């Protein structure tokens, strides 16, 4: 939700602690207020002029964003209305912040200050983060519950600390639960534990999924899903590369492999309502024909029928599959036969010039055409009288244009570059069709990432022989023979504990006992269950 920065910075501080940014871009006055509060945090401040937060200018900058899935509009006004229609109402401060950020990036991306690049062409989608959907947990609580390790003390906990957290696998809950098969799944699980959900319906959906996948009869499905998830690449990055026409052959191959895997994943999940419910949560507004279930097979067929994956990898460029276009296949056949054709024509030229030279060749130069190549030691003045037009010399070789080379230019021209231009044009057609389906592809990628987290939690639940918790509307907690995952895994003599609190009694429980009697273990266990 929108809010203005006040003197106390309460709202702003809650957002900073929740998002855990590496950089904060703000006006000088805001930076001065925050530097004292965040003096001990690993955050870099980047100043920006206050006049860049002008509402109308920011609104105009946002309206210039070209989203790949947006319809083709005849004018800029229609595109601006389309982009602004995606923004929530009464979002003045958010528009100011986003517009100023776009201006900042335009100056940072381009090395030439007078000719800044337009960051709006590099934006793939606009998504929103509703912070009221999540529970904020302070740093001390995260440390005491051993959700994350001691490295979080004195520093804002960042998603970039995932690798550090993974190094403490046996010591923190995140390490115990993180059985994700993809790095993006590990990052999402990190955020889940950092900011738990408030939405009871979505929490129940996650619990139902873990319960379903942990059943003995579904263990095979669990392993198949995890194997399929490993083959899904970084779809958002590939779409971004396509947006700026910079997708490499490896990224095209990864994209095709990912489409295959996502199609298999949707096929595995579609018979099971509990798994379909997860994909419904991530689906953004789109028409029925553009749902991932219908779209991905269509895109898969399009890419398979168009791209020659093997040749694309071999030649390090986009290569169209044989049979896609007959005229293109004819051009390629001509190009393949060109060495033999040039050899025959070279022999013909040598026959005409036999009394003057004993060696020659035909070679093609881009933008110049076919030329006759003769060793400079054999060049005589009579060659010009025979109709050879001197073009240039290069060391020990001299190049001429003849009637034969002119005939080759008329027949075959710049066949290789014609092939490259045609294949580039076809690549852009396929690329545009893919980019027009950005939203469903991102939805499916988000579904796969969430499913990776749920599979990881399922593996942990199976390992700890866990039980699905039951929700109640009463303000009470009941734990029967509860076990703490970390202590049970590391302590052979671990004992389970029960706990009960009811709404009609006091909510403070005093725990006493001698040293090494298990008080700390008991408290951590109850608090961990309470938090989860």
Q: What is the pLDDT of residues 497-523, one digit of tens each?
A: 888 877 666 667 788 888 877 777 777
Percent of the chain topping pLDDT 90: 27
Number of H helices, E strands in the chain: 23, 8
Q: What is residue 320's three-state secondary structure? A: strand
Which residue is associated with the tokens 């933008």? 367
Task: Give the lowest-confidence range in 132-146, 183-197, 453-467.
Answer: 132-146
Q: What is the pLDDT of residues 445-472, one digit of tens each?
A: 999 999 999 999 999 999 988 888 888 8
pLDDT at 493 over 90: no
- Residue 180 has a pLDDT of 95
CB atoms within 10 A of CB 377: 10
- Residue 250 has a pLDDT of 92
- Residue 165 has a pLDDT of 46
Q: What is the layout of strands, in order, in the sheet containing 397-401?
A: 361-365, 369-375, 397-401, 389-394
CB atoms within 10 A of CB 327: 8
Alpha carbon distance 291, 266 (integer Å)? 11
Alpha carbon distance 108, 370 (integer Å)? 46
Closest alpha carbon to 20 in 123, 133, 149, 162 = 162
What structural domains and CATH numbers belong to the chain? 10-133 (3.30.420), 139-307+437-464 (1.10.1420.10), 326-428 (1.10.1420.10), 477-531 (no CATH)
Alpha carbon distance 251, 497 (integer Å)? 52
pLDDT at 306 over 70: yes
Q: What is the pLDDT of residues 215-258, one digit of tens each?
A: 999 999 999 999 999 999 999 999 989 988 888 999 999 999 99
Percent of the chain topping pLDDT 70: 85
Q: What is the pLDDT of residues 313-354, one digit of tens each?
A: 888 889 999 999 999 988 888 888 888 989 999 998 888 888
């Amino acid at each position: 939700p929108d809010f203005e920065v006040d003197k106390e910075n309460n709202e702003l501080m809650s957002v900073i602690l929740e998002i855990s940014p590496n950089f904060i871009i703000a006006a000088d006055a805001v930076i001065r207020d925050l530097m004292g509060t965040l003096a001990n945090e690993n955050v870099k401040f980047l100043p920006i002029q206050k006049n860049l937060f002008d509402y109308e200018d920011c609104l105009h900058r946002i309206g210039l964003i070209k989203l790949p899935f947006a319809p083709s509009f005849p004018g800029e006004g229609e595109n601006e209305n389309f982009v602004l229609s995606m923004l929530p109402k009464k979002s003045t401060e958010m528009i100011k912040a986003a517009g100023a950020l776009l201006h900042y990036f335009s100056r940072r991306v381009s090395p030439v200050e007078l000719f800044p690049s337009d960051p709006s062409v590099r934006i793939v989608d606009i998504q929103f983060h509703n912070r009221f959907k999540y529970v904020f947990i302070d740093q001390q609580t995260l440390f005491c519950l051993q959700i994350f390790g001691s490295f979080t003390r004195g520093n804002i906990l960042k998603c970039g600390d995932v690798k550090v957290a993974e190094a403490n696998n046996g010591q923190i809950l995140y390490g115990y639960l993180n059985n994700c098969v993809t790095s993006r799944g590990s990052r999402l699980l990190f955020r889940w534990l950092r900011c738990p959900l408030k939405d009871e319906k979505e929490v129940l959906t996650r619990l139902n999924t873990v319960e379903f996948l942990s059943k003995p009869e579904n263990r095979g499905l669990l392993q198949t899903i995890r194997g399929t998830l490993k083959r899904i690449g970084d779809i958002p990055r590939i779409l971004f590369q396509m947006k700026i026409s910079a997708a490499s052959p490896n990224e095209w191959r990864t994209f095709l492999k990912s489409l295959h895997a996502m199609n298999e994943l949707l096929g595995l999940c579609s018979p099971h309502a509990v798994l379909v419910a997860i994909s419904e949560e991530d689906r953004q507004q789109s028409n029925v024909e553009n749902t991932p279930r219908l779209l991905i097979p269509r895109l898969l067929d399009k890419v398979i029928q168009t791209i020659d994956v093997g040749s694309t990898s071999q030649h390090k460029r986009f290569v169209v599959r044989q049979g896609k276009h007959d005229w293109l296949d004819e051009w390629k056949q001509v190009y393949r036969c060109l060495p033999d054709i040039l050899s025959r024509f070279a022999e013909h030229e040598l026959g005409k010039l036999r009394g003057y030279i004993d060696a020659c060749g035909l070679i093609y130069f881009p933008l110049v055409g076919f030329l006759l190549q003769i060793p400079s030691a054999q060049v005589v003045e009579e060659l010009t009288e025979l109709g050879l037009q001197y073009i240039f010399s290069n060391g020990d070789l001299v190049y001429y244009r003849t009637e034969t080379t002119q005939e080759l230019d008329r027949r075959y021209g710049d066949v290789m570059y014609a092939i490259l231009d045609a294949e580039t044009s076809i690549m852009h057609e396929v690329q545009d069709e893919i980019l027009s389906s950005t939203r469903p592809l991102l939805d499916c990628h988000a579904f796969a990432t969430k499913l990776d987290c749920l599979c990881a939690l399922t593996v942990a639940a199976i390992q700890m022989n866990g039980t699905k918790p039951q929700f109640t509307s009463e303000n009470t907690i009941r734990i029967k023979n509860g076990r703490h995952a970390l202590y049970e895994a590391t302590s052979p003599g671990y004992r389970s504990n029960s706990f009960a609190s009811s709404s009609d009694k006091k909510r403070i429980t005093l725990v006493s006992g001698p040293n090494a009697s298990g008080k700390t273990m008991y408290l951590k266990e109850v608090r961990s269950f309470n938090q989860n």
